[in-house]
Amino acid sequence: MLFTENAIIWIRRVAHLPVRKRCHSASIGNEILRSLEATFEQFAAQEMSKRQLAGFACRKFRLGSTCLQIHCRFRASRPWLSLQDSVTVCTFAQWLRITAFALVRRFGICQLSRVLDASQRRRTGRSIRGEMMRYHTPSSFEDASAIAAAATGVTRFLAGGTDVLVQLRSDLVTPDDLIDIKLIAGVRDITRRDDGSWRIGAAVSGAELAEHEALIGEWPGVVEALELIGSTQIQARCTLVGNLCNGSPAADSVPAMIAAGATVSVVGPEGAREIAVEDVPTGPGMTSLGPGEVVSAINLPPRGEGGGDAYLRFIPRTEMDIAVVGAGVNLSREGEAITAARVALGAVAPTVLLVEEAGAALVGSTLDDSALAALAKAAEAACRPISDKRGTVEFRTHVAGVLARRAAKIAYDRAGA
């Protein structure tokens, strides 16, 4: 009975998968699946053994692959179902095909199990093994942290969801616990403190940031970096914190935040702490945040007089693309002379880089040609990019120098305005 019920659930799952995924998992078409489903439903009322059921399916549809699908689907979660059980009534040729396929595509079968499991969870909130995806709406960061700390499976925080939900839809990540932080008080607030520093709540979207004139006046580079992300729809959701914690080396707002000297407020099982943005990413998709740690806000330092920042990126088209190289520059000047500078580069190393030598190349200068040349040289020297279809090592390295120079010029002009 258990087998029959689960087989029906499984067939429904496969029938609803997009064609691309269905092809991966099933050589049988929708029509047969529907027919098979009806057949299984008909037998669901009866005490039919799994062996009888598998045999029946084989005979009725002359499809060894049907059994294979059943086998693939259940092997991970139903160890008691052996290959023999599912193909007993097959012809020898079918059995041979199934066995060979199962061996050769072992990894693919695991993938199939994962894809089906994720799809089922998405649809029903329950995995094939009966586990629920738990959706939490804590009312404080302490609660959010406690939930995350107690979780044993895959955990994700939900800020804007423009990374998490896309990963979930494409079956890349299926969280056991999804912790939505948007109901926490103050999470969408942008506050200017008495000392002139800024606190940007963890769920403030790109659109909200872009409408904040006072913030734009002081930190235009940070705002323009977040504004580059995605489309109007994405802007309504994406956040600085999500962009940072997703851990992409090409994340647009991260070089701008690092150049600005931004920090993050973190709440965790051990209490609260504040860390520099550049210390958060540790590799592609990875951060230094410990289990149960959640970011509550981004902090920008007081802008002060004579400061300016800028962020530029190179993409092969005008929008909706990932940075091939990104450069953020933040500097302060007294008169014509630069008194402090920070330069950060994105998409040229496993994490966004703070290039201290590049900042140092600007300090004391009036952004003359030699300072710009030294800046470009330092930026290029820091690059450790990969070559891929979007840019070679040489191209990325060269563009890093070019963008650093251009961003420095914009920041310098803004600082003097």
Ligand X SMILES: Cc1cc2nc3c(=O)[nH]c(=O)nc-3n(C[C@H](O)[C@H](O)[C@H](O)COP(=O)(O)OP(=O)(O)OC[C@H]3O[C@@H](n4cnc5c(N)ncnc54)[C@H](O)[C@@H]3O)c2cc1C
What is the binding site for ligand X (CB under 6 A)? 156-164, 166, 181, 202, 228-230, 234, 237-239, 241-243, 245-246, 251-252, 289, 294-295, 320, 322
Least spacing, CB of residue 408 vs ligand X, in Å = 21
Minimum gap (Å) between residue 414 Cβ and ligand X:
22
CB 155 within 8 A of CB 175: yes
Q: Closest Cα to residue 281, out of 311, 241, 245, 313?
A: 245
Report CA torsion sign: 164, 350, 224, 389: negative
> Roughly what angle, to the nearest 10 degrees, separates helices 92-104 and 106-124?
80
Sequential DSSP letters for 97-135: HHHHHHHHTHHHHHHHHHHHHHHHHHHHSB-TTSPBPEE
Shortest distance, position 342 Cβ to ligand X, whole Å: 19
Dihedral sign computed on CA atoms, order 247, 252, 255, 256: negative
Is the CB of 318 or the CB of 369 nearer to ligand X? 318
**Nearer Cβ to ligand X (137/339):** 137
Three-state SS at 350: coil
CB of residue 228 to ligand X, shortest distance in Å:
6
Nearer to ligand X, 172 or 337 (CB): 172
Cβ(277)–Cβ(258) below 8 Å: yes
Q: Which helix (H) or strand (E) holds 240?
A: helix 240-245
12 or 212: CB nearest ligand X:
212
Distance CA 409, CA 386 (A): 27
Minimum CB–partner distance for residue 263 and ligand X (Å): 14
CA distance 333 to 320: 34
Question: Smallest distance, Å, CB 238 to ligand X?
Answer: 4
Which alpha helices (DSSP H) does 275-392 contain, by range? Answer: 356-362, 369-382
Q: Closest CB to ligand X belongs to which residue?
A: 242
| Axis-axis angle for helices 2-16, 50-61 (nearest 10) | 40
**For ligand X, which is the closer residue by CB, 26 or 256?**
256
Instruction: Report whether 83 contacts 98 (CB < 8 A).
Output: yes
Residue 280 CB, shortest distance to ligand X, in Å, is 9
Identify which of residues 231 and 392 has a Cβ nearer to ligand X in the complex: 231
Considering beta carbons, is residue 85 or 171 the nearer one to ligand X? 171
Question: What residues pair up with 331 in beta bridges, in sequence order?
Answer: 308, 341
CB atoms within 10 A of CB 235: 20
Q: Which one, 115 or 295, has the nearer CB to ligand X?
A: 295
Question: Is the Cβ of residue 100 or residue 286 nearer to ligand X in the bound state?
Answer: 286
Find the shortest distance in angstroms from Cβ 12 to ligand X: 28
CB of 200 to ligand X, least distance (A): 12
Phi and psi of 143, rounded to 5°? -65, -45
